[in-house]
Structure 1
Amino acid sequence: MSQLQIGFLLFPKLTQLDLTGPVQVLSRLPGARLHLIWKRIEPIASDATLVLTPTTTFADCPRLDVVCVPGGAGADDLLTDDETLAFIRRQAASARFVTAVCTGSLVLGAAGLLEGYRATTHWSAMEHLAAFGARPERTRVCVDGNRITGGGVTAGIDFALTLAAELAGRAVAEMIQLGLEYDPAPPFDAGSPLSAPAEILAAVKERMKPMSERRSAQVARAAARRADSTTAA
């Protein structure tokens, strides 16, 4: 049996849990080989101190069965990064599953890979999915054909378990879940804008305001570029 090739995009200022949560889950799949991919083999700083090292480059990456794009502030820069978007499109053309966690969904959208698909992302970025022709769905994990997207950060573990079940069956996914003792019981009911106290939601929105404004501008540029390329074609 050939190995299951699973590739995760790396980039500066990614949210490491978007990556490391799914990596921890999917690395336990029988026969899986995981790749951490960037333009060059060089240390990459995440948005939370951890420094990550790619295992392969765009040029040397094998054909992937699963391509996954995590999110984070750095994902906004990828929305107009032609080299990265072209790599994702090439891999997506033959991949069994095209996936993302958090604002990585916007990168799939900028690559033209969510047109007409249902998708989810971090709650703060949900409004931007429609700019890329996606149909936003406020949920922890969204499955639409071979497109699987996860919500913000911690939803990446739910996403990865869902993907594991698609790839290897529910029993294998449940064994992985038990091995990781993934049995969340958060101490506060503030993990969603629908449940968080109003003052907490307002404070978080205010703290995120500069990043949100920058993201909005990047999404507008990326959507305009896609519209121009579609018209030219």
Structure 2
Amino acid sequence: MKIIIYVYDGMTMLDAIGPYEVLRYMNDAEVFFVGEKRGEIKADSGFIDFNAKYSIDDIHDADILIIPGSPVAFLKEMKNEKVLSWIRQLDKQTKWTTSVCTGSIILAATGLLSGLKATSHWKIIDLLSDFDAIPTRERVVEQGKYITAAGVSSGVDMALYLTNKIAGDLETKAIQLTIEYDPQPMFNSGNYSSSDKAVIQVANKKLSKDAKKGLGLLGLLKNSKYILKLIK
């Protein structure tokens, strides 16, 4: 089972590592972290660097493709025609093409989600409609071979969902136990639909601050409707 996780500067690390920690335990799994170019990848936080051992020029087939998200950097990736073309070509070979968080915006930019339901991070989920996808506020959305996950931590849920589709209940339960994934959050505030207004406002401020920092690091112009959506 050849699993490709696309990585890029400014991505959210858990978007990639969460699914990795699940899928690597599947029998016969081979996981490849692939960047546009080989070498160092800088995470969105600025605290962690990551080494991509493979470039998109090295990888021409996959059973599973995972596209992680990011607070801001997805804006560059969704306009990178070399990367989008590679995703389209790889998608012809995949059994499953998946995304986490704003990775679904990158995936939607390829046109592969046109007319399909998809989810993303709650702050920018409406942007999916700009690429003819149908924004759907669910944690994991399956449409044929396309599976999209909501924000950050939902990548673990998506990976378990996918593992169950491939390997069945017993192996999936065993993997869940292996990583001891037994979430028991202190508060019921992890879902946009069930969070109160005050919590959403504070979260928005944190995300806007993070986005502004990312804009500076990536040198993106602050004049597009996409950026305005992120920083407001």
Which category of TM-score, normalised to the shorter sequence, fits these structures?
0.7 to 0.9
Q: CA RMSD in A?
A: 2.0
1:183 aligns with 2:157: no
TM-score w.r.t. length of structure 2: 0.88
Distance across 1 between alignment mates of 2:199 and 2:73:
25
**Aligned residues with identical type, % of pairs:** 29
Letter in 2 for 1:100: S
- The equivalent residue for 1:194 is 193
Deviation at 1:131, TM superposition (A): 1.1
Alignment of 1:104-183 (within 5 A): 104-183=103-182
Q: Which residue of 1 aligns with 2:31?
A: 34
Name the counterpart of 1:204: 203
Q: Matches of 2:164 and 2:102 in 1, distance apart?
A: 23
How many residues are treated as equivalent by the alignment? 217
Distance 1:16 1:101 in 2: 11
Distance 2:132 2:19 in 1: 26
Judged with a 3 Å threshold, the aligned counterparts in structure 2 of structure 1 residues 81 and 169 are, in CA distance, closer, same or farther, namely: same
Unaligned runs of 5+ in 2: 213-221
TM-score, length of structure 1 as denominator length = 0.87
**Offset at residue 214 of structure 1 (A):** 6.7
Alpha-carbon distance in 1 for matches of 2:180, 2:150: 21
Map of 2:58 onto structure 1: 60
Name stretches of at least 5 consecutive residues in structure 1 with no aligned partner: 221-233
Question: How many angstroms apart in 2 are the aligned matches of 1:98 and 1:157?
Answer: 15
Distance 1:138 1:197 in 2: 16
CA 1:123–1:186: 2 relative to 1, 3 Å: same
Q: Which amino acid aligns with 1:70?
A: P
Q: Residue in 1 aligned with 2:40? A: 43
* Structure 1 residue matching 2:192: 3-state secondary structure: coil
Kindly indicate whether residue 22 of structure 2 is the aligned counterpart of residue 25 of structure 1.
yes
**Is the 2:39–2:53 contact (alpha carbons within 8 Å) kept by the matching residues of 1?**
no
Alpha-carbon distance in 2 for matches of 1:26, 1:215: 36
